């Protein structure tokens, strides 16, 4: 399981797995529960690159959002794996 501590969002942390290049088991800690469950379900099984392309740059406040932070977490994941 990968853990990413978010910056500038209501959610404090994102936990996720990547299996065979696909995003799995995304869980946000804190934040707007319903919206974050929806994001988790929508990205389940999509490729890392597809999720980054869909979510990078989505702004809610302070120049970021929970979905943008997931994209950032996946970019950092790619840099280290």
pLDDT above 90: percentage of residues in the chain = 98
pLDDT, position 17? 98
User: Cβ neighbours of residue 22 under 8 Å, at least 6 residues apart?
Assistant: 45, 46, 47, 48
pLDDT (mean) for 25-50: 97
Map out the domains of the chain as residue ranges. Answer: 2-80
Average pLDDT of 15-29? 98
Structure-token pair, residue 57 = 């740059």
Maximum distance among all Cα pairs of the chain, rounded to whole angstroms: 33
Residue 41: pLDDT band (50, 70, 90) is very high
């Amino acid at each position: 399981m990968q853990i990413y501590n978010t910056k500038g969002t209501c959610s404090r942390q994102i936990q996720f797995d990547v299996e065979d290049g696909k995003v799995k088991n995304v869980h946000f800690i804190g934040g707007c529960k319903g919206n974050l469950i929806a994001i988790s379900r929508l990205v389940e099984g999509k490729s890392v690159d597809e999720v980054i392309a869909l979510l990078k740059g989505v702004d809610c406040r302070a120049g970021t959002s929970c979905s943008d932070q997931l994209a950032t977490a996946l970019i950092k994941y790619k840099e280290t794996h």
